[in-house]
Amino acid sequence: MTFCTKKIIFFFVLYAFVFCTKLQSQKLFSLSSDSLKDIESIIVKENNPKKEDTSVVKKRLAFLSKSSDKKNNILYSALLANGYAAFFDKINPKSEHYYLQSIQEAKRSKDLSLIIWTQLNYSKYLYFYCQIDKLIPIVLQTMEETNQIDPSEMILPAETFQFFGWIMFTVEDESALDFLKKSMQYMKKPSSESASVLNAIGNCYFKNKDITNAMHYLDKSEAMALKIGDSVRYAKVLGDKALIYEKKGNINTAVNLLKQDIAYSQKFKIEKNEMYASILLAKIQLKINNKNEAEKILERAGEIAGTKSYYRSSLKEVIELKLMLLNGNLQKELILRRQLKQLDEYLLKTNGNTVLRRSNWLIQKNKYENETKQIRSQLEQGERIRNISILILISTILSSAIAYTFLVKRLDTKRVKVEEYESDRLIFEEKLKDASSNIDSYAEDLQNKDKQILSLEDELEGIKSFAAKQSEEDKSKLQEMLSSHLVTDENWSAFKREFINQYSDFYNAIIENFPQLKESNLRIIMLQKLNLNNYEMSTLLGVTVDAVKKSKQRLKKKLGDKYELLFEIIEYK
């Protein structure tokens, strides 16, 4: 079969798929106005979930899971996914499972408003944790689906268009302004959300170098924030205004506004905003050659940036600024550059740099829009198959030619960098392998000690049988050998340090969620994390198997309802 024949068959299959998809979409429906209000009230109550035990979230949402109404079951899966995301504060399999389950259930219900909302809910999770590759196709699909429904029939249309605006602003797409202004049309009253949208519109104009409109909308956002008493939004507006004053050359005003922003952020414990404002202030201090002040600010910004994996792009900024402050300290520069390389490696696997991310977005977005418009316009006319095939073929040839030219130029300039990254990646993986092997060797050593203890115990039994023939000195030596294989305080301290180094997230989660635990409890939990059974634990700790079982029973009684949470942390941290 020739290449041309394969391509023709492909386009016929594509046409059939799109045609069937359109027929299927015509069967979709939306919620009634009363049902819509009920769902929105539930979602609004659960917006911005706080970190809390997932068992508490499940109990609070139990009325949704027990409902005979499928819509409530869908909400349960989606909101529970948000609860797990807030608890683990990172990409995790539990959230992923419930997000995808809610989307699948919504599609089975053929309720377009629920389909759009569940996909949007998942998209926010992916955006927050920088999973750009997964995010792109879902958001583009969701945007297209919003064209098939009246906004008044959507769940929280203002929030939906606001999110689209944020995404498009991030990738510097001109449609960001339209989405944000559309969001304002569905804001029912002055609120923190409407102040946030006005703020975002101001930033859009600033990015487009329209200083007048930028300041106009930031003023409106500031006025609304003061009116409703939203100090957090007020602080963020001050930081954004600082950028405008800096652009105008009014450095003193910019510095004062950023200091106010940081003060508010510290007062209300908004670390993320404090970090962003501190980085901006450090940049200005560097411009005016105030290096001592910039260094102090960057220390605090670096502390915050190091607390979350999704702050690593900001941590990279901090390190780059610190490098600019160095004055011939080669050792410190070497450390910072190593950190920078590791961050680059991580960012290449997640959100990457802005230029690459924007290019990827625009290519996929334009391709999706062009193919959709071509296919839809041809489906509405008479000669569907022939015209669609011709148009898509032309579009494919042109896009392939453009893509080929683009890739050739790009590959020529990036080949050396790719080789460097590959070399650095291999070095990093080797270091990671060395680091991770330490705790594994500890676990293996602990299990080997079981076998040694059994052998020594057999020897002692033999000695007891032939006591007349064996001196007390020999028996004493064997007893010492047996004792040395038990987990002494010194051995345990060394093991614990290595365990915390390898399983820091797990250990911190245990300490944070169960402060009442004693050291004896921690020993049982840490050995259980390494999949040791009761017998292996008893021989290592120098106690009976029954003693280990009783320790576990006392632990279960102590934790009560939170015992289930302990095993969720052991399994997923």
pLDDT range class, residue 8, cuts 50, 70, 90: very low
pLDDT exceeds 80 at position 375: no
Cβ atoms 364, 137 nearer than 8 A: yes
Average pLDDT value for residue range 184-209 = 91
pLDDT digit string (tens) for 277-290? 999 999 998 888 89
Least confident range of 104-113, 167-176, 364-373: 364-373
The two tokens of residue 273 are 């905003």
DSSP for 223-265 reads HHHHHHT-HHHHHHHHHHHHHHHHHHT-HHHHHHHHHHHHHHH
Quick one: which of 153, 82, 151 has its CA closest to 121?
82
Average pLDDT value for residue range 122-128 = 91
Cβ atoms 49, 57 nearer than 8 A: yes
pLDDT digit string (tens) for 461-518? 554 454 444 445 544 554 454 445 456 777 788 888 888 888 888 888 888 888 888 8
- CA-CA-CA-CA torsion for 12, 14, 19, 22, nearest 10 degrees? -170
Task: Give the per-residue pLDDT at 49.
Answer: 72
Max avg pLDDT among 59-73, 337-351, 374-388: 59-73
Task: Give the per-residue pLDDT at 322.
Answer: 87
pLDDT range class, residue 376, cuts 50, 70, 90: low
- Position with higher pLDDT, 489 vs 169: 169
Phi, psi of 271 (to 5 degrees): -65, -40
Contacts for 271 with CB less than 8 Å, ≥ 6 apart: 265, 304, 307
pLDDT digit string (tens) for 226-251? 999 988 899 899 999 999 998 888 99
pLDDT exceeds 80 at position 532: yes
Mean pLDDT taken over the chain: 78
Task: Give the per-residue pLDDT at 541.
Answer: 83
Task: Give the per-residue pLDDT at 378.
Answer: 63
Task: Give the per-residue pLDDT at 447.
Answer: 57
pLDDT range class, residue 374, cuts 50, 70, 90: low
Burial 154-182 (b: 16+ CB within 10 A, else e): bbbbbbbbbbbbbbbbbbbbebbbebbeb
Domain boundaries, the chain: 31-155, 359-440, 443-572
DSSP for 493-546 reads HHHHHHHHHHSHHHHHHHHHH-TT--HHHHHHHHHHHTT--HHHHHHHHTS-HH
pTM greater than 0.85: no
Average pLDDT value for residue range 393-401 = 73
Average pLDDT value for residue range 196-222 = 93
Least confident range of 111-115, 158-162, 444-448, 528-532: 444-448
3-class DSSP state of 378: helix
Convert 148-193 into a string of H (helix), E (strand) and C (coil). Answer: CCCHHHCCCHHHHHHHHHHHHHHCCCCHHHHHHHHHHHCCCCCCHH
